[in-house]
Amino acid sequence: MESLSKKAAGNLAAVREKKPLIHNITNYVVMNYTANALLAMGASPVMAHAHNEVEEMVSYAGALVLNIGTLTDDWIESMIIAGRKASEQKTPIILDPVGSGATTLRTDSAKKIIEQTNIAVIRGNASEILSLRHKDSKTKGVDSIHSVEDATETAKILAGELKTILAITGPVDLVTNGDSALRVSNGHPLMGYVTGTGCAATVTIGAFLAIDENPVSATATALAFFGLAGEVAGEKASAPGSFMIEMVNALYSISPEQLKDGCKIQEN
């Protein structure tokens, strides 16, 4: 899609020009990798989760990333405190509901964050996203729809119910606001072999949300950029260890023009 290809290039250029501060309350496993990913693409990361500083920190941020990968009750409380402040000042929030659907704590915590804050985008795999449905949701169960390819109509319904943008990532990513859907086919198979790749995709969306007021185009173009970085990395790396490093290099080196030419976004 030509217009979104141009938008992707413009968004990447804007991130590098404005260097937005992205406030992350995220998990121990990915802190270093996602911080380096944000730095490489041109944004400015901060990892702050203490109760008594998150409101102040998020007041400086262009976007807030909430990731429940290694959650505790204290961290969820910090996420809600930061999320309420961000919602109050209209700072976009992106939620990564890591493992939602696997345990009651994760599922209930993700739903609590959604209920008490104004989430702009939720990014996860199909099972994580669909686990967030309400008891009276019109969607089918998680077990019956577990791939991006099969989840389009269900995701549209769920996005409408949650009043947010859903980004379901997989071999082909799906982005929907409930009314329409976009598919992003950039990516590389080795992305699934590196811990933190999905979380890094989430923070990339956070960086694009900080400079693009349209959450649909911000999300789709961010995923195209991140997926293209995987393609570029895959040309230089043949195994997960080197691929992880080349991903960071690609996030740094891809030009807006290269993204415009390599962007693979289609209307569903």
Judge whether 92 and 64 are in contact, CB under 8 Å: yes
Cα(33)–Cα(197) distance, integer angstroms: 9
How many domains, the chain?
A: 1
Judge whether 183 and 216 are in contact, CB under 8 Å: no
- Using the predicted structure, report yes or no on whether residue 140 has a pLDDT greater than 70: no
Cα(12)–Cα(10) distance, integer angstroms: 5
| 165-199 pLDDT tens trace | 999 998 999 999 999 899 999 999 999 999 999 99
Judge whether 65 and 96 are in contact, CB under 8 Å: yes
| 39-84 pLDDT tens trace | 999 999 999 999 999 999 999 999 999 999 999 999 999 999 999 9
| 3-14 pLDDT tens trace | 999 999 999 999
| 251-263 pLDDT tens trace | 999 999 999 999 9
pTM for the predicted model, two decimal places:
0.94
Domain that holds residue 192: 2-267
Instruction: Give the contacts of 241 (CB within 8 A, at least 6 positions apart).
Output: none
Quote the distance between the C-alpha of residue 87 and its chain's center: 18
Task: Name the pLDDT band for 130 (thresholds 50, 70, 90).
Answer: confident
Q: What's 174's domain CATH number? A: 3.40.1190.20
